[in-house]
């Protein structure tokens, strides 16, 4: 079996488990930033294509790989893969749902705490030699913390569940919105309560996004959503940039409706200096935290991801159905 991998080779050398596919499959690595012509020259006859969540896999590329049986994303996101083109060919598309849940949840909660505690402002004050002034300001305007905050999770997948678990340890009240509500028994076991989207916006002190980028989630946070947001609320996005209407968010920040924002995802990516949210951060340096889509970059996440890739390679090698199929086959 031939496997074309458009992902860093060093990651696989470090974390690949000892399994049949690692021993028996021909693994060919190419740079994900290369051209389709380069990829096809190396592996047009491959049975498996492994890609990162930020790699565009177009219908045209799929059509030029006649032996393809599986497109495996080695992360969670899959919005840059032409799922329908693969489905029409009977090619499985799979992701690694849950592989980075702990890492992204850890970052999400960290960013919430940084916003609540005004960490960027405190850092700037200390570097300016204004320690006493900063202390006095905080004593006059004592910030809240997670133990007294109502946090709303938009989405309730693997990452949101890991986030909820960490928030409960902090004593936070946790609500969620999702297209499909959990049963009352599940909600009780998870320690979360359901709220419709706009009610969640109206009631929560912190809103944290945990949705994939789909047609249904695109610009879910639009002007109407921000009009319902509790004044002074904080927003954290460790999911996908397309969920937010950037113009609407900028307006909400400038008006003071949103007190602070922490972002680890953008539309498009990479986000350059001219991106509206990067410009917004320059305008409000104490209120906007920007991260380079680093939530899923951790040793544990990479180890889990590579293991899950090879589990599905083993299934294909054995003629079995892979796990976590996302394109309806």
In the chain, how long is the greatest CA-to-CA distance? 68
Annotation says 269 is catalytic: yes
CA distances (Å), origin 299, targets 14, 20, 62, 264? 10, 23, 31, 18
Catalytic residue (one of 187, 199, 202, 269): 269
Strand ranges inside 30-95, DSSP E:
48-51, 70-73, 92-94
Residue 186 annotated to the active site = no
The Cα angle at residue 70 between residues 303 and 72, in degrees rounded to 5: 30
Pick the catalytic residue from 30, 166, 275, 293. 293
Contact 120, 286 (CB under 8 A): yes
Positive or negative: CA dihedral 240, 246, 249, 254: positive
Sheet hosting strand 48-51, strand order edge to edge: 26-29, 2-6, 48-51, 70-73, 92-94
CA distances from 79 to 9, 37, 54, 89, 287 (A): 23, 22, 8, 18, 30
Low-confidence ranges of the chain (pLDDT < 50): none
Identify the pLDDT of residue 77: 86
Confidence at residue 260, expressed as pLDDT on a 0 to 100 scale? 98
pTM across the whole model: 0.91
**Residue 227 to residue 230: CA distance in whole angstroms:** 9
3-state secondary structure of 154: strand
Please, what's the b/e burial string for 184-212 (b: 16 or more CB within 10 A of its CB; e: otherwise)? eeebeebebeebebeebbbbbbbbbbbbb
């Amino acid at each position: 079996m031939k496997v074309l991998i458009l992902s860093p080779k060093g990651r696989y050398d470090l974390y690949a488990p000892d399994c049949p596919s690692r021993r028996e499959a021909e693994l060919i690595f190419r740079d994900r930033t290369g051209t389709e012509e380069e990829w096809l020259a190396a592996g047009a006859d491959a049975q498996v294509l492994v890609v990162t969540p930020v790699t565009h896999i177009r219908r045209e590329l799929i059509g030029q790989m006649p032996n393809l049986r599986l497109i495996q994303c080695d992360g969670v996101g899959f919005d840059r893969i032409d799922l329908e083109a693969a489905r029409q060919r009977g090619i499985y598309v799979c992701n690694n749902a849950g592989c980075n849940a702990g890492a992204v949840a850890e970052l999400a909660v960290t960013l919430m705490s940084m916003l609540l505690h005004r960490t960027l402002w405190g850092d700037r004050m200390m570097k300016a030699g204004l320690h006493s002034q900063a202390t006095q300001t905080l004593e006059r305007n004592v910030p809240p913390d997670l133990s007294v905050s109502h946090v709303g999770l938009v989405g309730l997948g693997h990452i949101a569940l890991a986030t909820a678990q960490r928030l409960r340890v902090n004593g936070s009240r946790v609500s969620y919105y999702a297209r499909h509500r959990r049963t009352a028994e599940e909600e009780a076991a998870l320690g979360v309560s359901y709220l419709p989207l706009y009610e969640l916006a109206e009631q929560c002190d912190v809103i944290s996004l945990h949705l994939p980028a789909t047609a249904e989630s695109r610009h879910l946070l639009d002007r109407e959503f921000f009009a319902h947001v509790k004044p002074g609320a904080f927003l954290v996005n460790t999911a996908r940039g397309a969920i937010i209407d950037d113009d609407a968010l900028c307006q909400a920040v400038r008006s003071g409706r949103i007190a602070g924002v922490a972002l680890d995802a953008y539309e498009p990516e990479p986000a350059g200096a001219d991106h509206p949210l990067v410009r917004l951060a320059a305008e409000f340096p104490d209120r906007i935290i920007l991260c380079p889509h680093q939530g899923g970059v951790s040793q544990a996440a990479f180890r889990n991801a590579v293991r899950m890739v090879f589990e599905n390679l083993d299934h294909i090698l054995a003629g079995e159905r892979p796990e976590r199929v996302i394109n309806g086959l």
